[in-house]
């Protein structure tokens, strides 16, 4: 770890890294250094391993060195294929997440661990799938809805059921480009097929497949994951919580939930609230059970239960290094395999629960799908019984924690907006107030700041600088994923943060009684952003690409982020990437993604590693869109 380079803007992160260093422990930042300079071919996307004639690597500089792989694939073809496979990887992750949730709804029962909590939302979603709800048993409707949802994952003919929030003009654009998704799994398979050796060798066509697969993610996989999670676990409403590694407690059983699928966190929240569990914790000498979250499971649990946010992606190892985590419970996605070895240095139980993500060295307690609460109870017990093994001499919990307000689902945003609607004018439960302030120019636009952490950037700096820059320019920010946690830790998810906003946004925050940065949930909950933007476009009778709306992933790292970027752009929203994707070796691919794609879908990618320049570009672009729309 080099001394001079700033690693993070988060003080608790720096404190824990010092502790790690003193104890001779390795973190992702050390492994990043150990990797030395990354391979230029891979970084530019011009390395192909899709068959055993290779690996091939072609020159990222046109006209120089090897221009074609053994099969004859050009740099652009290799780059486009690699990029498409990233989309497929990301979409597949969200697909499987969505599928689990739909299957849970299929197994929901009135007396089971999983029930229908939000009947109103069930009816709304069922209606959009054309399912009769009138006078029917709630669980019959739920099961029929689950079946309908599952059909869209494996659909072989026709197209998926698009939500009504897709504006008509947008749908036409997709139809014309032939990128309306068919079945979700089919789109992933199609990419894996076409990127096989000797198949698709046209950058433009491959990238279009990526857009179609991305759309299946955003408007189907993630969309359903969110809707169905709300149906079973409740639609989020605004509530307070706290964030930062300082939320760990000295004399409580600290359970850190990490991963993605809400069923794990829901079951553990339910188990940890049981009086007998609390009694058990007390019998072990603890004051109680302290649930905290990391990454998107944290977001799911905090949106619905106010579970505290311990930290984001790059902090997962640091939680263990506090020495105060009795159990680190994970399911799927974005879990460092390094946690298995790291937790050996402490008493921390590292527990995996999903058959989809086994990690060597972890304690595996597989989630029993037929009786998920049982697993939840077993995991909580395991954590409680581990409390006594905590070595207090090795514990160091940072003092810092920050208040945050979370729970801004689309429904909650509409409820808040109702507060500024004149009851003699109406309408209620609409995005009209939001559309009005955007049209009037009181707020200039809206931005979704999403995505991961990446050791290539200063931890959290990109998120925070972009968010602060945007709100200062009267652009309201909605946030999800690890970006949301960065904002929470920095105090941006509070009503007081309106003081950092420009005059217009500040006024809106006061009138609507909201923070300037709204936490909308986990990464699959980006579908909430699509829903909100789609509703606003429909409200104004325009297409999404007409709106002064942008997406930004300042510190993204995962393939999921690439898939998200693809569906956001395909939905007509300009998207800024704060980390350069591995496409620079393909001039045509770069031209398509950052230029020509705009002719297709009315939006494009911007790659900018400087957060301040990003803000400047966004403000300019937002003003351009406003001008075009005449507002």
Partner 1 sequence: MNLFQTVFTGSKQALAAAEGLVAKAVEEKGRDCKVAFPDTAYSLPVIYAATGKKITTVAELEGALDIVRSLIVEEEMLDKLLNSGLATAVAAEIVEAAKYVLSDAPYAAPCAGFVSDPIIRSLGVPLVTGDIPGVAVVLGECPDAESAAKVIKDYQSKGLLTFLVGKVIDQAIEANVKMGLELRVIPLGYDVTSVIHVVTVAIRAALIFGGVKPGNLAEVLQYCSDRVPAFVNAFGPLSELVVSAGAGAIALGFPVVTDQTVTEVPTLLLTQKDYDKVVKTSLEARKIKIKITEIPIPVAFAAAFEGERIRKND
Phi, psi of 171 (to 5 degrees): -60, -40
Output 315 or 473, the one with its CB closest to partner 1. 473
Point out which span in 4-12, 97-105, 413-421, 579-587 binds partner 1 (CB under 8 A). 413-421
Classify 627 as helix, strand or coil. helix
Output 536 or 563, the one with its CB closest to partner 1. 536
Q: Dihedral of the CA atoms 543, 545, 549, 550 (nearest 10)?
A: 150
Q: What pairing do the DSSP bridges indicate for beta strands 445-449 and 402-406?
A: unpaired
Output 249 or 436, the one with its CB closest to partner 1. 436
Contact between 423 and partner 1 per CB under 8 A: yes
- Which residue(s) pair with 553 in the sheet? 577
Interface mask toward partner 1 for 434-473; x: CB under 8 A: --xx-xxxx-x-----------------------------
Greatest CA separation for the chain:
73
CB of residue 431 to partner 1, shortest distance in Å: 11
Query: Which pair of structure tokens corresponds to residue 298?
Result: 């944290």
Contact between 498 and partner 1 per CB under 8 A: no
Question: How wide is the angle at C-alpha 141 spanned by C-alphas 135 and 143, nearest 5°?
Answer: 155
CB of residue 622 to partner 1, shortest distance in Å: 11
Kindly identify the residues of this chain, within the stretch 570-629, that bind partner 1 according to CB under 8 A: 623, 626
Contact between residue 603 and residue 562 where contact means Cβ atoms under 8 Å apart = no
Contact between 428 and partner 1 per CB under 8 A: no
CB of residue 377 to partner 1, shortest distance in Å: 47
Question: How wide is the angle at C-alpha 75 spanned by C-alphas 74 and 81, nearest 5°?
Answer: 90
- The whole-angstrom separation of Cα 56 and Cα 77 is 13
Classify 396 as helix, strand or coil. coil
Output 92 or 518, the one with its CB closest to partner 1. 518
Point out which span in 54-62, 187-195, 482-490, 504-512 binds partner 1 (CB under 8 A). 504-512
Residue keyed to tokens 């290539």 = 456
Contact between 425 and partner 1 per CB under 8 A: yes
- The whole-angstrom separation of Cα 280 and Cα 394 is 24
Point out which span in 204-212, 249-257, 374-382, 422-430 binds partner 1 (CB under 8 A). 422-430
Contact between 421 and partner 1 per CB under 8 A: yes
CB of residue 537 to partner 1, shortest distance in Å: 17
Output 356 or 507, the one with its CB closest to partner 1. 507
Give CA 223 to chain center in angstroms: 12
Point out which span in 454-462, 498-506, 557-565, 604-612 binds partner 1 (CB under 8 A). 498-506
Output 110 or 630, the one with its CB closest to partner 1. 630
Output 163 or 504, the one with its CB closest to partner 1. 504
Output 376 or 504, the one with its CB closest to partner 1. 504
Q: Which residues 6+ apart lie within 8 Å of 61 measured at CB?
A: none
Q: Using alpha carbons, list the distances in angstroms from residue 612 to 273, 465, 472, 616.
A: 44, 7, 12, 6
Query: Which pair of structure tokens corresponds to residue 157?
Result: 């003919």
Nearest C-alpha neighbor of 328 from the set 400, 266, 253: 253
Contact between 422 and partner 1 per CB under 8 A: yes
Query: Which pair of structure tokens corresponds to residue 228?
Result: 């169905």
Output 341 or 507, the one with its CB closest to partner 1. 507
Query: Which pair of structure tokens corresponds to residue 183?
Result: 């079945």
CB of residue 567 to partner 1, shortest distance in Å: 30
Task: Determine whether 567 is exposed, middle or buried from the number of CB atoms within 10 Å of its CB (0-12, 13-18, 19+).
Answer: buried
CB of residue 439 to partner 1, shortest distance in Å: 5
CB of residue 492 to partner 1, shortest distance in Å: 20
Point out which span in 235-243, 430-438, 457-465, 560-568 binds partner 1 (CB under 8 A). 430-438
Output 71 or 439, the one with its CB closest to partner 1. 439
Output 118 or 412, the one with its CB closest to partner 1. 412
- The whole-angstrom separation of Cα 41 and Cα 44 is 5
Residue stretches of the annotated binding site: 39, 47-48, 51, 56, 71, 260, 296, 334, 452, 482, 523
- The whole-angstrom separation of Cα 184 and Cα 89 is 12
Nearest C-alpha neighbor of 342 from the set 56, 623, 118, 26: 26
CB of residue 470 to partner 1, shortest distance in Å: 14
Classify 48 as helix, strand or coil. strand
Contact between 500 and partner 1 per CB under 8 A: no
Instruction: Determine the straight-line distance between the first and last CA of the chain, rounded to whole angstroms.
Output: 50
Residue stretches of the annotated binding site for [Ni-4Fe-4S] cluster: 260, 296, 334, 452, 482, 523
Output 373 or 420, the one with its CB closest to partner 1. 420
Judged by CB under 8 A, which of 130, 135, 427, 630 binds partner 1?
630
Kindly identify the residues of this chain, within the stretch 505-564, that bind partner 1 according to CB under 8 A: 507, 511
Give CA 547 to chain center in angstroms: 22
CB of residue 471 to partner 1, shortest distance in Å: 13
Output 333 or 473, the one with its CB closest to partner 1. 473
Residue keyed to tokens 């019959």 = 140
Inter-axis angle of helices 75-106 and 138-154, to 10 degrees? 160
Contact between 394 and partner 1 per CB under 8 A: no
- The whole-angstrom separation of Cα 54 and Cα 72 is 12
CB of residue 125 to partner 1, shortest distance in Å: 28
Residue stretches of the annotated binding site for [4Fe-4S] cluster: 39, 47-48, 51, 56, 71
Q: How many residues bind partner 1 (CB under 8 A)?
A: 25
- Where would I find the beta strands (DSSP E) of 319-410? 327-330, 349-352, 363-364, 402-406
- The whole-angstrom separation of Cα 246 and Cα 249 is 8
Judged by CB under 8 A, which of 60, 69, 306, 502 binds partner 1?
502
Inter-axis angle of helices 461-472 and 481-489, to 10 degrees? 80
- The residues of the shown chain that bind partner 1, judged by CB under 8 A, are 417, 420-425, 433, 436-437, 439-442, 444, 474, 502-504, 507, 511, 623, 626, 630-631
């Amino acid at each position: 770890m080099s001394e001079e380079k700033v690693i993070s803007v988060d003080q608790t992160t720096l404190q824990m890294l010092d502790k790690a260093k003193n104890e001779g422990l390795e973190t992702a930042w050390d492994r990043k250094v150990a990797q030395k300079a990354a391979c230029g071919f891979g970084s530019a996307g011009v390395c192909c391993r899709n068959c055993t004639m290779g690996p091939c690597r072609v020159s990222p500089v046109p006209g120089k060195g090897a221009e074609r792989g053994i099969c004859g694939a050009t740099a652009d073809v290799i780059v486009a294929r690699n990029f498409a496979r990233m989309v497929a990887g990301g979409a597949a992750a969200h697909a499987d997440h969505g599928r689990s949730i739909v299957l849970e709804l299929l197994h929901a029962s009135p007396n089971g661990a999983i029930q229908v909590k939000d009947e109103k939302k069930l009816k709304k979603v069922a209606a959009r799938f054309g399912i009769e709800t009138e006078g029917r048993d709630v669980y019959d409707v739920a099961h029929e809805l689950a079946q309908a949802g599952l059909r869209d994952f494996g659909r072989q003919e026709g197209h998926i059921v698009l939500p009504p929030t897709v504006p008509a003009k947008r749908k036409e654009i997709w139809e014309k480009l032939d990128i309306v998704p068919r079945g979700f799994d089919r789109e992933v398979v199609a990419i894996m097929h076409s990127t096989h050796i000797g198949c698709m060798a046209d950058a433009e066509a491959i990238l279009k497949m990526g857009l179609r697969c991305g759309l299946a993610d955003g408007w189907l996989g993630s969309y359903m994951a969110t809707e169905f999670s709300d149906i079973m676990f409740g639609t989020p409403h605004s509530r307070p919580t706290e964030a930062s590694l300082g939320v760990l407690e000295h004399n409580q059983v600290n359970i850190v939930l990490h991963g993605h699928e809400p069923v794990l966190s829901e079951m553990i929240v339910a188990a940890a609230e049981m009086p007998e569990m609390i009694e058990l914790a007390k019998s072990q000498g603890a004051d109680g059970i302290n649930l905290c979250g990391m990454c998107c499971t944290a977001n799911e649990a905090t949106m619905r239960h106010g579970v505290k946010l311990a930290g984001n992606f790059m902090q997962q190892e640091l939680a263990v290094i506090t020495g105060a985590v009795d159990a680190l419970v994970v399911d799927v996605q974005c879990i460092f395999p390094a946690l298995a070895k790291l937790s050996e240095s402490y008493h921390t139980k590292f527990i995996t629960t999903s058959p989809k993500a086994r990690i060597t060295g972890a304690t595996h307690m597989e989630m029993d799908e037929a009786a998920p609460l049982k697993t939840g109870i077993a995991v909580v017990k395991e954590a409680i019984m581990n409390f006594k093994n905590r070595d207090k001499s090795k514990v160091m919990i940072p003092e810092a924690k920050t208040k945050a307000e979370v729970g801004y689902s689309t429904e909650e945003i509409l409820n808040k907006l109702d507060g500024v609607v004149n009851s003699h004018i109406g309408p209620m439960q609409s995005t009209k107030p939001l559309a009005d302030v955007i049209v009037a120019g009181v707020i200039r636009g809206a931005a979704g700041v999403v995505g991961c952490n990446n050791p290539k950037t200063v931890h959290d700096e990109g998120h925070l600088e972009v968010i602060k820059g945007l709100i200062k320019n009267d652009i309201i920010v909605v946030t999800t994923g690890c970006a949301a946690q960065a904002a929470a830790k920095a105090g941006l998810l509070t009503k007081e943060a309106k003081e950092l906003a420009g005059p217009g946004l500040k006024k809106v925050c006061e009138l609507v009684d909201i923070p300037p940065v709204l936490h909308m949930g986990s990464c699959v909950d980006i579908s909430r952003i699509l829903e909100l933007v789609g509703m606003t476009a429909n409200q104004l009778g325009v297409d999404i690409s007409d709106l002064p709306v942008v997406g930004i992933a300042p510190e993204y790292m995962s393939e999921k982020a690439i898939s998200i970027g693809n569906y956001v752009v395909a939905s007509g929203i300009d998207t800024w990437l704060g980390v350069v994707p591995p496409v620079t070796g393909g001039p045509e691919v770069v031209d398509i993604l950052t230029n020509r794609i705009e002719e297709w879908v009315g939006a494009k990618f911007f790659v900018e590693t400087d957060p301040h320049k990003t803000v400047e570009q966004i403000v300019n672009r937002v003003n351009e869109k406003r001008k075009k729309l005449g507002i």
